[in-house]
Amino acid sequence: MATTHSELYDAIVIGAGIQGCFTSYHFAKNKRKVLLLEQFFLPHSRGSSHGQSRIIRRAYPEDFYIKMMEECYQIWAQVEKESGTKLYRQTGFLVLGRKENAEFCAVQEALSKHSVEYKYLDSKELKTCFSNFRLPPDQVGIWELSGGVLYADKALKALQDLIRQLGGVIHDGEKVAEIKPGYPVTVTTTTRTYQAKSLVITAGPWTNQLLLPLGIQLPLQTLRVNVCYWKEKVPGSFGENFPCFYGSFSDLAPHHIYGLPAGEYPGMMKVAYHHGNKADPDERDCPSASSEVTDVQILCSFVREYLPGLQPQPAIMERCMYTNSPDENFILDRHPKHANIIIGAGFSGHGFKLSPVVGKVLYELSTESTLSYDLTAFQISRF
């Protein structure tokens, strides 16, 4: 039977992925008593935040993400300073597309509107600057200088250390089994029962499992994603001077393909498909999953056609989870019936870079502080 813990926390945060870590960091930084609960022992690789690298960029077609990214860069730098850990490597970010592609045009327009430093590259300039790509003549590019790589695992560790140093409490290996809404809200894990003034649910692909007993289900799709690493034919050719990129290659696939320069595995570039196969997070690595190779086939064709300097078969394949909302925008809102239960979900494969501000607004929603951002685009009621 779970023993009851007598302390009343300002907040309990469920899930020590990047969103739960940043939310807890903001609580601790603001001198609030916070308890971060994680079902697995840390570190783990079962959710969406593990691995060595994530892309950071300002290149978005939506104004609201570009505005948030301004502060995200500042908070990432602050966390680097406070933890004494390098978390960001500037590589530049390249958006590839056809000149007339609607999303490509929207990104260019939005970057201009927000005075973000970028350069438009016609197909000739693209060829000169990035000779590793073999692109069709109608491909053009947007070169965004501040883009780069975030060191994901290092970021999680740095934040967890900072949360503890600032007085926050982290309990890993404790799965939340029951939530009793009310004031205070009561949370029971596999070993103990805790109480808090508010609860933040940042449970990634497990979010709907926790919400079901609380009377709501969000329209979330959980996807298993294959993360592929491709060996350079000439050692060093995709390392130091190669950028992060994404692009739509509609002749090959309906979703984006993206890549990061060699980093975590020496001499291997990460190139992956921005989509996956439907899967329950607890069954991510079931044997049946291995037969779904469509995304890997798409990537093999892409690498063969567009990046001929890489071996056309992945050398390493890892797995990760996406939790997609129908419009691929986040859900940052209160539970419709229980105002002191806050939900951060649906990060749709692009939430890492934005987590500093996600954590901040989830903290603001929990403490009923003035909101730093207009959250209309992130409300549950839009579905």
Ligand X SMILES: Cc1cc2nc3c(=O)[nH]c(=O)nc-3n(C[C@H](O)[C@H](O)[C@H](O)COP(=O)(O)OP(=O)(O)OC[C@H]3O[C@@H](n4cnc5c(N)ncnc54)[C@H](O)[C@@H]3O)c2cc1C
> Interface with ligand X by CB under 6 A: which residues?
14-20, 37-40, 46-49, 54-55, 175-176, 202-206, 210, 225, 227, 272, 320-322, 347, 349-353
CA-wise closest residue to 103 among 59, 133, 69:
59
Dist. CA 278–CA 284, nearest whole Å: 9
Q: Which is nearer to ligand X, 18 or 307 (CB)?
A: 18
Residue in the structure block whose two tokens are 């070993």: 191
Amino acid at 355: S
Amino acid at 48: S
CA-wise closest residue to 140 among 172, 94, 106, 183:
94
Q: Which is nearer to ligand X, 14 or 35 (CB)?
A: 14
Q: How far is the CB of 301 from ligand X (least distance, A)?
A: 19
DSSP-derived pairing of the beta strands 221-231 and 277-278:
antiparallel
Q: Which is nearer to ligand X, 39 or 366 (CB)?
A: 39
Q: How far is the CB of 118 from ligand X (least distance, A)?
A: 18
Q: How far is the CB of 332 from ligand X (least distance, A)?
A: 11
Q: How far is the CB of 248 from ligand X (least distance, A)?
A: 16
Q: How far is the CB of 330 from ligand X (least distance, A)?
A: 8
Dist. CA 267–CA 373, nearest whole Å: 41
DSSP-derived pairing of the beta strands 341-345 and 192-201:
parallel
Q: Which is nearer to ligand X, 133 or 245 (CB)?
A: 245
Q: How far is the CB of 128 from ligand X (least distance, A)?
A: 26
Residue in the structure block whose two tokens are 């609201």: 64
Q: Which is nearer to ligand X, 49 or 366 (CB)?
A: 49
Compute the Cα dihedral for 134, 139, 145, 150 and give only its sign: negative
Amino acid at 206: W
Q: Which is nearer to ligand X, 223 or 310 (CB)?
A: 223
Q: Which is nearer to ligand X, 37 or 298 (CB)?
A: 37
How many C-beta atoms lie closer than 10 Å to residue 235's C-beta? Answer: 11
Backbone angles phi, psi at 175, to 5 degrees: -80, 130
Q: How far is the CB of 106 from ligand X (least distance, A)?
A: 18
Is residue 353 a contact partner of residue 149, using CB atoms and an 8 Å limit?
Answer: no
How far from the centroid of its chain's Cα atoms is residue 36's Cα? 19
